[in-house]
Amino acid sequence: NAGVTQTPKFRVLKTGQSMTLLCAQDMNHEYMYWYRQDPGMGLRLIHYSVGEGTTAKGEVPDGYNVSRLKKQNFLLGLESAAPSQTSVYFCASSRPGTTDTQYFGPGTRLTVL
Amino acid sequence: EDQVTQSPEALRLQEGESSSLNCSYTVSGLRGLFWYRQDPGKGPEFLFTLYSAGEEKEKERLKATLTKKESFLHITAPKPEDSATYLCAVQPSGYSTLTFGKGTMLLVSP
């Protein structure tokens, strides 16, 4: 099993450009999450999904949109990138139940110029 | 509001020098407390989940403990390969989301 994979690994955008980050998991997990990680700030939740076709806002949702059209995929979109969105983005997934352990992908490093 | 505070921010140890990392938390009701390890340029890697005060879990040189207000990650006789950032997170009862602390960066010198 590949676990959680993220595409792309690196990306550089200019202010105002748009892009989509792709997260895929092969563990048949119901829940999926998008985080951003900034120096001195820790991991902060952007959006999450508890099932196909459902999404919810996390702690820092502004400037991002998400979609969960298939159970195994969770997309994070930036419609008009800003320098403040320069960060490392992590996707995670989990299966609800006794453990709820979240398993993370390798991350995408995004720079907005 | 759920809060997680990790201390120290950074810790430098000599190989073999045992120590502990602290995770203090405030949550309305705790479903679980999680410890992760993160290497530079990589995603967090799951280590432990603790569910109730008094619970302990071990893995190689690591042991995690939990009280009603804090958790400790004890590192016994660390090796350079234990160098990483250790993250603590809490899951409130009734929620599927985690609140993370800012982490402790551990450096173990040979």
User: Residue A56 pLDDT > 70, yes or no?
Assistant: yes
**Chain B contact set for A24 (CB, 8 A):** none
Tell me the pLDDT band of A80, cut-offs 50, 70 and 90.
very high
Q: Identify the segments of chain B with pLDDT beneath 70.
A: none
Q: Which of B6, B36, B96, B100 is the best mutation test for A, with the most CBs of A within 10 A?
A: B96
Any residues with CB less than 8 A from the CB of A11 and at least 6 apart, and which? A19, A108, A109, A110, A111
User: Residue A98 pLDDT > 80, yes or no?
Assistant: no
- Are B100 and A42 an interchain contact pair (Cβ–Cβ within 8 Å)? yes
What angle (nearest 5°) sits at the alpha carbon of residue B39, between those of residues A24 and B35? 80
CB count in 10 Å sphere of residue B74: 15
Mean pLDDT score across all residues of chain A: 95
CB count in 10 Å sphere of residue B31: 16
User: Residue A26 pLDDT > 80, yes or no?
Assistant: yes
